């Protein structure tokens, strides 16, 4: 299940999670997703792949100690599309000079569980006014 949250909903839900989820560990990471396009090279007579869309995001993953629940929050999205050069997102620009666009202020929360969603998480979602949108 995935949900789209704003900053207020994120903070309200995080407070609930910290109080109710006896989480075993959490992990922060940066995630990159590449989607490739294809174009025909007339000189080599081959179809070549090139990065068409690059998406970067920061991910916080929490897993419960007693529940089989994994909750992830993705934020700080950056994306770039239709490029000809290699990606360098550290400076906010790509090698071909095009700018990296960023989306901020929204979080995508993912919930993975083998059974039913725990009651404390359902209550936290209701308290924060979060309803499924994806």
Determine the Cα angle at 51 with ends 108 and 1, to 5°.
20
Q: What is the pLDDT of residue 96?
A: 53
Q: What is the pLDDT of residue 59?
A: 92
Domain membership flag for residue 132:
no
Domain membership flag for residue 47:
yes
Domain membership flag for residue 92:
yes
pTM of the complete model? 0.67
Domain membership flag for residue 29:
yes
Domain membership flag for residue 133:
no
Rounded to an integer, what distance in angstroms lies between the CA atom of residue 134 and that of residue 126? 17
- Enclosing H/E stretch for 81: strand 69-81
Q: What is the pLDDT of residue 24?
A: 64
Structural domain boundaries enclosing 6: 2-127
Domain membership flag for residue 48:
yes
Q: Using an 8 Å Cβ cutoff, are 104 and 72 in contact?
A: no
How many domains does the chain contain in total? 1
Domain membership flag for residue 114:
yes
Q: How does pLDDT run along the chain (134 residues), one tens digit per residue?
A: 788 888 888 888 888 877 766 666 778 888 888 888 888 888 888 888 877 778 888 999 988 777 788 889 998 887 776 654 444 444 455 555 555 555 667 888 888 888 888 887 888 888 888 876 55
């Amino acid at each position: 299940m995935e949900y789209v949250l704003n900053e207020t909903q994120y903070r309200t839900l995080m407070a609930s999670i910290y109080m109710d989820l006896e989480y075993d560990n959490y992990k922060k990471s940066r995630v990159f997703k590449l989607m490739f396009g294809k174009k025909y090279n007339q000189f080599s007579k081959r179809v070549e792949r090139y990065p068409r869309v690059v998406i970067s995001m920061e991910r916080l993953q929490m897993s419960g100690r007693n529940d089989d629940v994994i909750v992830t929050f993705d934020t700080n999205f950056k994306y770039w599309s239709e490029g000809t050069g290699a990606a360098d997102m550290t400076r906010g620009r790509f090698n071909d000079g095009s700018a990296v666009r960023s989306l901020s202020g929204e979080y995508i929360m993912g919930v993975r569980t083998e059974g039913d969603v725990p009651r404390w998480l359902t209550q936290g979602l209701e308290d924060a006014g979060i309803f499924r949108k994806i």
